[in-house]
Amino acid sequence: MQQHLDAIALVVRDYDEAIAYYTHVLSFVLLEDSVLSADKRWVVVAPPGSGNGCKILLAKATNERQLFAVGNQSGGRVFLFLHTDDIERDYQRMKKAGVEFTEEPRQEVYGKVVIFQDLYGNRWDLIQPNYSNSKNQ
């Protein structure tokens, strides 16, 4: 059997606000934006250079329960992990674009990492893996 994780749904307040943030601030690529109904769209973004890797489906909150989850889908823990080939380049670019970092980049056994928050408050790890200690060479 062969399987892979294709996309993760991220609950957002507004489609256009989320698209603008992910494409202009984080430099993600807008892969799809299809209208499904008067109030529902299929919006998919992905990091640059990710190829067939996991994507993010931007899902607009449609009720109070979903609105409550915006920015806190993981209960305050780091929720998403964005790998990079150059953490210093991306850290400086993202900082300049207004991304909120909660710390300075630090070295860990698995590589360099820094935590940031997206426009809704979801916590992300930006990681430059140390591939000599990783199974994903």
Q: State whether residue 96 is helix, strand or coil.
A: helix
Q: Which residues of the chain have pLDDT under 70?
A: 132-137
Whole-number CA gyration radius for the chain: 16
Distance, in Å, from the CA atom of 27 to the CA atom of 46, rounded to the nearest integer, reads 9
Quick one: which H or E segment has residue 59?
strand 55-60
pTM of the model: 0.90
Where do the structural domains in the chain lie, given as residue ranges? 1-70, 73-137
Q: Specify whether domain 73-137 bears CATH 3.40.50.620.
A: no
According to the model, what pLDDT value does residue 131 have?
76
Domains 1-70 and 73-137 share a fold: yes
CATH superfamily of 1-70: 2,3-Dihydroxybiphenyl 1,2-Dioxygenase, domain 1 (3.10.180.10)
According to the model, what pLDDT value does residue 132 have?
53
